[in-house]
Amino acid sequence: MSLTPAAREYLLALADDEHMIGARHTNWIGLGPFLEEDLAFCSIAQDELGHAIGLYELLLDDAGTDRTQLDAFALQRAPGDYRSCWLAEIKCLDWSDSLVRHWLYDRAEDLRWKALESCTDPVVAALSLRAQREESFHLAHAEQFLSRLASTDQSARIVASIERLMPIAFGLFDSVATEPDMLAEGFITQSSADIEALWIDAILDDLKRWDLDVDIVAGPGQFNEQRRTVRSDGFDALQADLLKVISLDPIAVW
Amino acid sequence: MHTLADAPTDGRTWSDLDDFQAFIDAGGMVEPGDDMPDEFRSEVFRFIEFHANSELMGGLTERDWIPHAPGLRLKQIFLAKTQDEIGHAHLLYMVAADMGVKTRTEMLEQLFDGRSRFHNVFHYKAVTWADQVAIAFLVDAAAFASQRAVFAECTYGPYKRVLKRIVAEEGFHMRHGEEMLLRLATGTDTQRVMFQDALTRWWWPAVHLFGPDSPSGDTDPLIRWKIKSQRNEVLRQAYVQKYVPLLHGYGFDIPDNELHQDADGLWQAGSIDWEPLKATMRNGGPDSARRIATAAGNWADTAWVREALEQ
């Protein structure tokens, strides 16, 4: 079936989020606190990039564009044409931030994919089921690790990371401009605001179980008007890193 | 096929080294619960620790280029490859730690302190993407040949069982290296020039990986105890026979002015300068200091996690 412009915009936002979080997780491989963590982040980053590839190929197919254009589409758009959220884009300088980002993102990602499991497009619905199976492992990893650290004398470090990242985490739920059309068409059954409410409940529940005292400030507002069209600081450097080899020769096949 | 369940629960003992050698010569397999001779324990531990350190430092070399990999699927492939390498290190450190000489933490801290060694090739900097391809094509192939020769006999049970998986995965890496080289070799002028430059940087380190000629006669304990099945010079010569024609076939120049075919048609490398290899074994290679310092810095930065989890 053919995707409406609204559906394309919505799926592009999810694809770009998966791409950027996968790229950022990649930076932590080999830098984790022990080998098992390096291995876990390798798996998670591969999964997230796999989700991005699945969605990008869906969008290419829908547009009648050959899949050989995957990398041009995924990597070489103008920054203003990406729809990723800032939480996925930013560079985390500390392992604690990276772990907390992984938890905040995957809590939301799980809910976002669930909202697509009954999608009227069967390919999207199938992608949703695959992604949810993988997300269950990502979430278990994040929850178990944070739960353990929260019970140690390093809990203040975790709280500081949550407080640092929470304001931009709300950008996960910045709806694309066309979301109302999608709801009207029945492509999705939950708005971003609905998903945000579920996410806040899940985050609060986690914090309560971990006995962490963090103020959750709902909906900071400054992101909503951007509609995912404004890139975070550091995006240009990230994109340059991703394009470092491809940009050496525009006609080369690598 | 041996499994962990095969390991005897009651350790075997040997009256002396001759008795132990007779056990090895009769096809015996040593298991962790055995009362192995101290000399065997020490030499085999050192060999496995070196292998583990090399897998880890190799993974760290490749990780630096994952973000730059030219394409989303290539990024995934290099993630998987790096995961394999770190996974190999993980398995090997466990096998080594079970020998009771050092803990995994001690091995890692000595590696990051610059007090232990790893393969020469990971003391060099990967300058361009073509260096990644050269590592995959030349270095992975050299490591594959070397590891397969150990797996062929390998009388220490846990190491042999782990090597089965490692060799299988390294085989995929080698094939992937061949595929990537093919793309560069049949690609644009930019790609061919990049690979020629990388080949010039990596040919000799790859040849050095096999090490100098093994001690003459029966004096190499790792061969005598059938941990290694082949002498270094035999493996090196087989590597040269395979890779010289492949690289020439793609039209690349090998940086060895004395390289020639003898009367039997065998390729003979020129005289080998072993000084660069010796420098890397002192952790004094071209990029050793930066690489060790970076790994040590990351280890220190995440100490709080390890300490917290011990509470």
Residue numbers of A between 87 and 106 with CB closer than 8 Å to B: 94-95
SS (H, E, C) chain B: CCCHHHCCCCCCCCCCHHHHHHHHHCCCCECCCCCCCHHHHHHHHHHHHHHHHHHHHHHHHHHCCCCCCCCHHHHHHHHHHHHHHHHHHHHHHHHHHCCCCCCHHHHHHHHHCCCCCCCHHHHCCCCCHHHHHHHHHHHHHHHHHHHHHHHHCCCEHHHHHHHHHHHHHHHHHHHHHHHHHHHHHCCCHHHHHHHHHHHHHHHHHHHHCCCCCCCCCCCCHHHHCCCCCCCHHHHHHHHHHHHHHHHHHCCCCCCCCCCEECCCCCEECCCCCCHHHHHHHCCCCCCHHHHHHHHHHHHHHCHHHHHHHCC
What's the pLDDT band for B5 if we cut at 50, 70, 90?
Answer: very low
B298–A26 C-beta distance less than 8 A: no
Residue B227 has pLDDT above 70, yes or no: yes
Q: How far is A171 from chain B (nearest CA, A)?
A: 24
What does the block give as tokens for B130?
């073509």
Residue B1 has pLDDT above 80, yes or no: no
Number of domains present in the structure of chain A: 1
Return the pLDDT at B226.
Answer: 94
A246–B309 C-beta distance less than 8 A: no
Rounded Cα distance, B180 and B141, in Å? 13
Q: What does each C-alpha distance from B185 to B83, B181, B193, B244, B250 come to in angstroms?
A: 27, 6, 9, 15, 6
Rounded Cα distance, B129 and A254, in Å? 10
The angle subtended at Cα A78 by Cα A76 and Cα A83, nearest 5°, is: 95
Q: Please give the DSSP secondary-structure letter assigned to residue A228.
A: T
What's the pLDDT band for B2 if we cut at 50, 70, 90?
Answer: very low
Residue B4 has pLDDT above 50, yes or no: no
What is chain B's Cα-based Rg? Answer: 20
Return the pLDDT at B3.
Answer: 45
CB A14, CB A112: distance < 8 Å: yes
> In chain B, which residue's Cα lies nearest the Cα of A145?
B309
Provide the 3-class DSSP secondary structure of residue A215. coil
A228-243 confidence digits (pLDDT tens): 899 999 999 999 999 9
What chain B holds in terms of domains, given with CATH numbers, is: 23-309 (1.20.1260.10)
What are the residues facing A55 on neighbouring strands? none
Rounded Cα distance, A111 and B243, in Å? 52
Rounded Cα distance, B288 and B265, in Å? 38
B86–A38 C-beta distance less than 8 A: yes
Whether ipTM > 0.85 holds is: yes
B183–A33 C-beta distance less than 8 A: no
Q: How far is A182 from chain B (nearest CA, A)?
A: 28
Q: How far is A149 from chain B (nearest CA, A)?
A: 7
Return the pLDDT at B216.
Answer: 80
Residue A224 has pLDDT above 90, yes or no: no
What's the pLDDT band for B141 if we cut at 50, 70, 90?
Answer: very high
Rounded Cα distance, A234 and B275, in Å? 43
- The set of residues, in sequence order, having a beta carbon less than 8 Å from that of A29 and lying 6+ positions away, is A38, A41, A42, A45, B63, B66, B79, B82, B83, B86
B67–A26 C-beta distance less than 8 A: yes
- Domain containing A46 equals 5-248
Residue B83 in contact with partner chain A when CB distance is under 8 A: yes
Residue numbers of B between 250 and 309 with CB closer than 8 Å to A: 298, 301-306, 308-309
Q: How far is A225 from chain B (nearest CA, A)?
A: 30
Nearest to A48 by CA among A14, A84, A91, A19: A19
- The set of residues, in sequence order, having a beta carbon less than 8 Å from that of B44 and lying 6+ positions away, is B99, B156, B159, B222, B225, B227
> In chain A, which residue's Cα lies nearest the Cα of B297?
A31
Q: How far is B267 from chain A (nearest CA, A)?
A: 31
B82–A39 C-beta distance less than 8 A: no
CATH label of the domain that carries residue A61: 1.20.1260.10
- The set of residues, in sequence order, having a beta carbon less than 8 Å from that of B180 and lying 6+ positions away, is A254, B132, B133, B136, B137
CB B209, CB B146: distance < 8 Å: yes
Of A33, A248, A252, the CB nearest to B305: A33
Q: How far is A201 from chain B (nearest CA, A)?
A: 27
A19–B298 C-beta distance less than 8 A: no
Residues A195-204, mean pLDDT to the nearest whole number: 94
Establish if A200 belongs to a structural domain.
Answer: yes
Residues B184-200, mean pLDDT to the nearest whole number: 97
Rounded Cα distance, B248 and B255, in Å? 11
Rounded Cα distance, B130 and B198, in Å? 6
Residues A18-32, mean pLDDT to the nearest whole number: 95
Provide the 3-class DSSP secondary structure of residue A1. coil
A52–B72 C-beta distance less than 8 A: yes
B246-302 confidence digits (pLDDT tens): 999 999 999 999 999 999 999 999 999 999 999 999 999 999 999 999 999 999 999
> In chain A, which residue's Cα lies nearest the Cα of B130?
A245
The angle subtended at Cα B175 by Cα B172 and Cα B181, nearest 5°, is: 140
B6-47 confidence digits (pLDDT tens): 555 568 999 999 999 999 999 999 999 999 999 999 999 999
Residues of chain B contacting residue A36, judged by C-beta atoms under 8 Å apart = 90
A57-78 confidence digits (pLDDT tens): 999 999 999 999 999 999 999 9
Return the pLDDT at A177.
Answer: 81
Establish if A253 belongs to a structural domain.
Answer: no
Residue numbers of B between 6 and 65 with CB closer than 8 Å to A: 56, 59-60, 63
A36–B72 C-beta distance less than 8 A: no
Return the pLDDT at A223.
Answer: 57
CB B222, CB B230: distance < 8 Å: no
Q: Please give the DSSP secondary-structure letter assigned to residue A217.
A: -
- The set of residues, in sequence order, having a beta carbon less than 8 Å from that of B10 and lying 6+ positions away, is B33
Residues of chain A contacting residue B83, judged by C-beta atoms under 8 Å apart = 29, 38-39, 42-43, 46
B70–A152 C-beta distance less than 8 A: no
Establish if A254 belongs to a structural domain.
Answer: no
A144-164 confidence digits (pLDDT tens): 999 999 999 999 999 999 999
What sections of chain A are H helices per DSSP? 5-26, 35-63, 70-75, 86-89, 95-114, 122-150, 155-169, 179-185, 192-209, 235-242
Residues A96-109, mean pLDDT to the nearest whole number: 97
Return the pLDDT at B7.
Answer: 53
Establish if A93 belongs to a structural domain.
Answer: yes
CB B184, CB B133: distance < 8 Å: yes
Return the pLDDT at B6.
Answer: 52
Of B68, B302, B303, the CB nearest to A244: B68
Rounded Cα distance, A34 and A31, in Å? 8
Alpha carbon A228 to chain centroid distance? 12
Return the pLDDT at A184.
Answer: 85
